[in-house]
Amino acid sequence: MLQKDISVNKMELKIFKGNSGKKLGITYITVKCENCDKEFQRNLSQYNDSVKKGIRFFCTRECCSEWRSQNLIGEKCKAWKGGKAKQVCDNCNKVFYEYSSQKTRSTCFCSRQCKGSYFSDEMSEKWKGGITPLRAKIHALYLSDKLRTNVMKRDKNCVKCNSTKDLQLHHIKPYALIIGEYNIKTIKEAKECLELWNESNCVILCKDCHIDFHKVHGQQGEYLIEAFNSWRYFQ
């Protein structure tokens, strides 16, 4: 509850000269913190404005955060939209719960794996004959995200120019060569190919350096580590 019936404790705490040279005083009022009941003082004019706007009073930011975490959660919050709603995965029929704000499409899935399976399985009504290239499917795997994240943590920036903008993952031994060398034709084979997910075969390059490398070595590139280091350090 907002404090409406509070006895005003007027005190001239600060004295200073205004533009006219006259001494001006600031009137304060004693209020209680909504969270810890500690008494503190607030400028009277600011207090009156706060009461009109329905603003609560707290002695510190910590008290404000603590009060909000205890009183503005769930149904008590104005932004409450019903919490997590029961959903059924369209792929495996597993029951799970998610916030209504997260459901942006007519379909829903309990995991990324179920979503991928639903749109790629030949038995699915969404199947379009396997028109998605294998490389695009491999790039969409969670293993690709994990690989990029780990290499990014290791290199932190472009290994050639130290830029931190437009960073991209580069395979020293080209992606296509690995797929061809191991005759990978399915997603399962791609997941089981250790060299495809080998972090030591990857580095981080900025967009400009990545383009420059492929201008020198083509799209397939020269996969020997000596050739890459020659470009990296001497070109």
| Domain ranges (residues) in the chain | 12-76, 84-120, 134-234
Classify 54 in phi/psi space as left (phi over 0), alpha (psi -120 to 50) or beta. Answer: left
Q: Using the structure block, give the residue that is written with the tokens 């009073």.
A: 57
How many other CB atoms are found less than 10 A from the CB of residue 63?
A: 17
Token pair recorded at residue 123 = 């038995």
Say whether 132 sits in a helix, a strand or coil.
Answer: coil
Q: E strands, the chain, where?
A: 12-17, 23-32, 39-43, 84-88, 95-99, 167-171, 202-206
**For the chain, first and last CA: distance in Å?**
70
CA dihedral 141, 143, 148, 154 (to 10 degrees): 180
The pLDDT tens digits of the residues spanning 38-87 come to 888 888 888 888 888 888 888 888 888 888 888 777 666 666 666 677 88
* d(C-alpha 52, C-alpha 49), whole Å: 5
Q: CA torsion sign, 213 to 215 to 220 to 226? A: negative
> 212 falls in which pLDDT band (50, 70, 90)?
confident
pLDDT digits (tens, 9 = 90+) for 213-234: 887 776 655 556 677 777 777 6
pLDDT of residue 18: 45
Distance CA 3, CA 47 (A): 10
